[in-house]
Structure 1
Amino acid sequence: MSIRAISVHEVAQKLIRKEPMFILDVRNTDQFQDWKIEGAGIQHLNVPYFDLLDGVEEILEQLPPEEIVVVCAKEGSSIMVAELLSEQGRRAAYMEGGMKAWSEHLVPLKVGDLRHGGELYQFVRLGKGCLSYMAVSGGEAVVVDATRMIHVYTDFARNLNVNITHVVDTHLHADHISGGRAIAQETGAEYWLPAEDAQDVAFAYEKLGHGTEIKLGSGEVSIKALYSPGHTIGSTSLVIDDQYLFSGDILFIDSIGRPDLAGEAGSWAMDLRETLYKRYRDLAEQLIVLPSHFMIMDELNEDGTVAKKLGELFLENHGLNLEKEAFVTMVSQNLPPQPNAYQDIRNTNMGKMSPDHEAQREMEIGPNRCAVR
């Protein structure tokens, strides 16, 4: 029985559709426990590759008769284990590129139409929990919180026959390497970054501040900046077409942003509360919140997008319904581990480091850790 290669795209589609899938993850146990492919239809068995060098006979009873998807870090080990399973008459596939490829895969999904003409797309990075965006109108596009896989955005814009004219980072990212500057350099677009986060950057940029307005196409589609510190001192939200709220890493569907990734949890906690409990309360509850990350697969809608009305989050999000003391305790104590290599990622995003492609991949390995929980 031959084995087949299953692409990360196919895995992503199965996950979004909540289709059943059995994964044999052959990475070391600590790697598996820290970060794995998750979803409603997923079943796992973790057996390190080195425990299977003498054969897979001992684990056959733990495997289903259906296809088994073998996953490892880079691909090589999963091919060998899939072949061993095939020799035992089991249907086996290996995930192409392993978890490194899974970490980098983006799924573009349409969020909706803009009131004044155009469309809004969300790029879902299932393996990392990152969310980025492209708003399109009148032959122009703006990209928000892009990942370093810039070809996905430039190819997408090319297929839509639009020009990327603006690229925005809502804050200086600490858990993933931004592709914002690289997209701007390739396309000639203007690159926007909050000035409060950019005091030590080593490159030129357009200052994104409270009240900054970016126009798209004929100018009818407007993107307005709302200063919203707390995750970082410069965090800035965006309201597009009075319809959608790009909340950056301030507000998520199931949680809120953490204020400690620059070592300022104590002083930024009250900034975060001010943003969530006052600045956001002044906004229309009908705005659809589009965060820059998600934490768990339950936050995905049926179509795979991550979006919810602000008014619903005021009712349901645990971080928006706490007394002051409880809020400060939650966002400054007992926080999850900080993102892998977050200081190097920050320095890369500031232009102080220029790691090569493989080093960048290694820096980003692991789950999203931008939220309080």
Structure 2
Amino acid sequence: MTDRSDADDSADETPSIAPEALAERLRAGDPLTVLDVRDRDEFERWHLTGEGVEAVQIPHMKFIQAQATGDVADLAADLEEPILVVCGRGEASAHAVDLLRDAGVDAANLAGGMDAWADLYVARELEVDAPATVVQYDRPSSGCLAYTIYSGGEAAVIDPLRAFTDRYVDDAAERDAEIRYVVDTHVHADHVSGVRTLAERTDAAAVVPEGATDRGLAFDAMTVGDAAERSSANPASQAQQDAAKLRIGDATLTVLATPGHTTESISLRLEGGDAETLFTGDTLFLEGVGRPDLERGDDGATAAAEQLYETLRDRILELPGETTIAPGHYSDAADPGENGTYAARLETLRDRLAALSMDEDEFLAHATSDLPPRPSNHERIVAANLGLETVDEETAFELELGPNNCAVAD
């Protein structure tokens, strides 16, 4: 189990696995026992999950006590080996690993702990039929996906995370590309948006859906209509943003209003070639559809679900079946492609997802019943993303830890 890619092979070193290697194992669904030595409240708020993962919480203090009594092996007596031990920063878990291994238990430490896991951000190229290169950014700790589209020396970033602003800037510089637009598909409730910080770092245009202003947007940003006017391509009004186009080099992004998850949600169509790519934000996922209760609460969930049903039926499902759907999130239930990216053809999702073939009454019941817990701190995250609350980097990092929970699973 031990991964020594980031470590030397000295005999006294605690065996460890790097976050990158852990991500690959979780993606493969390999059986894994995760022993979390953080306190119970930290564990319940956020812990490692995945197909094949059995997560167990035993606080570090119990290991300290067992070290004194010589009963360390008893703590792991019921656990399947090998065991991955985790904590916040990888220090308490390293101590627990050393004790377990001294007791003959096959255990390894998550290098850097859950903080390092949250910092992991993987970039992979998405296969598209367009005069552009699309990079999908994957944050395995939360399932958040973002995208950068490169064409003709220009770039647009879709749904950036504030925590990884430097990554987008550095990657664009490596490709000798100027970031022209940074776009949010909606007001996010699960992570702190990087639209403002990335725009400030690069002089790119910060672009938001028209309806973001109705939700109380409190910082300077272009609506998609304004951005389209600046590019002199099919300007859109506040009331009608469909067909607004953003030019990136030789590529074109066309806006499609897709309300339901939120009132202002949009999707972006990358045109060119024989098959288009649709960046759906939180409207349509590989394993479900967007939940309708985050903006308007339980009382407004049914009306939002009605809007989402119309969006799916009359807008997205009317697109060609070969359209590639590139979502804003994924969960443990999603299967990555051979190259590790999360995307699927629309025709595949039509066959796979029952929600896409339900009648309206079935869909409304499905979309408003048995919803998972709302994302942690979603109200403060929305306030931060509208510019109504200022949060520093450390606070932002803490606010968005944990699963996104923005989907209604199929």
* Fold equivalence (TM over 0.5): yes
Judge conservation of contact 1:3–1:92 (CA < 8 Å) in 2.
no
Q: 1:245 is matched with which residue: 278, 290, 295?
A: 278
Matching residue of 2:350: 314
Q: Does 1:14 align with 2:25?
A: yes
- 1:1-373 equivalence runs, <5 A: 1-18=12-29, 21-29=32-40, 31-32=42-43, 35-40=46-51, 42-55=53-66, 56-62=72-78, 66=82, 68-90=83-105, 92-116=107-131, 118-148=132-162, 149-199=164-214, 200-208=216-224, 209-217=241-249, 220-242=250-272, 243-263=276-296, 264-373=300-409
Inter-partner Cα distance in structure 2 for 1:213 and 1:165: 13
Which letter maps to 1:230?
A: G
Alpha-carbon distance, 1:207 to partner: 0.8
Going from structure 1 to structure 2, the CA distance change for 1:281 and 1:151 (only over 3 Å counts) comes to same
Inter-partner Cα distance in structure 2 for 1:141 and 1:11: 31
Structure 1, unpaired ranges of 5+ = none
Deviation string 1:243-302 (CA, Å, 9 cap, x unpaired) is 211011000111100111112313211110110111112211110000001122543223
Inter-partner Cα distance in structure 2 for 1:298 and 1:233: 26
Going from structure 1 to structure 2, the CA distance change for 1:281 and 1:64 (only over 3 Å counts) comes to closer
Q: SS of the residue aligned with 1:166?
A: strand
Inter-partner Cα distance in structure 2 for 1:92 and 1:143: 40
Inter-partner Cα distance in structure 2 for 1:227 and 1:298: 25
Inter-partner Cα distance in structure 2 for 1:353 and 1:97: 30
Which letter maps to 2:344?
A: K
Which letter maps to 1:369?
A: N
Most deviating of 348-357 and 90-99: 90-99
Judge conservation of contact 1:16–1:302 (CA < 8 Å) in 2.
no
RMSD, aligned CA: 2.1
Inter-partner Cα distance in structure 2 for 1:337 and 1:13: 27
Alpha-carbon distance, 1:89 to partner: 4.6
Inter-partner Cα distance in structure 2 for 1:20 and 1:153: 33
Alpha-carbon distance, 1:30 to partner: 5.9
Alpha-carbon distance, 1:141 to partner: 1.1
Going from structure 1 to structure 2, the CA distance change for 1:22 and 1:30 (only over 3 Å counts) comes to same
Judge conservation of contact 1:213–1:225 (CA < 8 Å) in 2.
yes
Alpha-carbon distance, 1:31 to partner: 4.8
Judge conservation of contact 2:377–2:400 (CA < 8 Å) in 1.
yes
| Number of aligned positions between the proteins | 369
Q: SS of the residue aligned with 1:12?
A: helix
Inter-partner Cα distance in structure 1 for 2:203 and 2:350: 39
Q: Which of these two proteins has the greater Rg computed from alpha carbons?
A: 2
Going from structure 1 to structure 2, the CA distance change for 1:78 and 1:191 (only over 3 Å counts) comes to same
Inter-partner Cα distance in structure 1 for 2:315 and 2:396: 35
Alpha-carbon distance, 1:146 to partner: 0.8
Alpha-carbon distance, 1:32 to partner: 4.0
Judge conservation of contact 2:73–2:105 (CA < 8 Å) in 1.
no
Most deviating of 154-163 and 363-372: 154-163
Which letter maps to 1:9?
A: E
Deviation string 1:173-209 (CA, Å, 9 cap, x unpaired) is 0111111111111011111100202331111111123
Q: Identity of counterpart residues, as a percentage?
A: 33
Q: TM-score, normalised by structure 2?
A: 0.84
